[in-house]
Amino acid sequence: MSNNDVIDVEPIGGRGPAGGKADSLKTWGWVSYILHLIVAVAAVVPGAQVSIALLIIALVMDLVKKDEAVGTWQESHFKWRISSVLWAGVLYVATLPLYLLLYLPGAVAWAIISIWFLYRIVKGMVRMNAGRAVTA
pLDDT bucket at 125, cuts 50 / 70 / 90? very high
State the distance between the two ends of the chain, measured CA to CA, in whole angstroms: 15
- The rounded distance, in Å, linking the Cα atoms of 78 and 133 is 10
> Mean pLDDT throughout 1-24?
54
Domain boundaries, the chain: 12-129
> Mean pLDDT throughout 3-23?
52
37 Cβ contact partners less than 8 Å away, ≥ 6 residues apart: 118, 121, 122, 125
- The rounded distance, in Å, linking the Cα atoms of 117 and 129 is 18
91: closest CA among 83, 101, 81?
83
Interval 22-77: pLDDT, tens: 788 999 999 999 999 999 888 888 777 787 888 899 999 999 999 999 999 999 99
* Poorest-pLDDT segment among 10-19, 33-42, 62-71, 80-89: 10-19
36: closest CA among 9, 19, 57?
57
* Poorest-pLDDT segment among 4-8, 18-22, 120-124, 129-133: 4-8
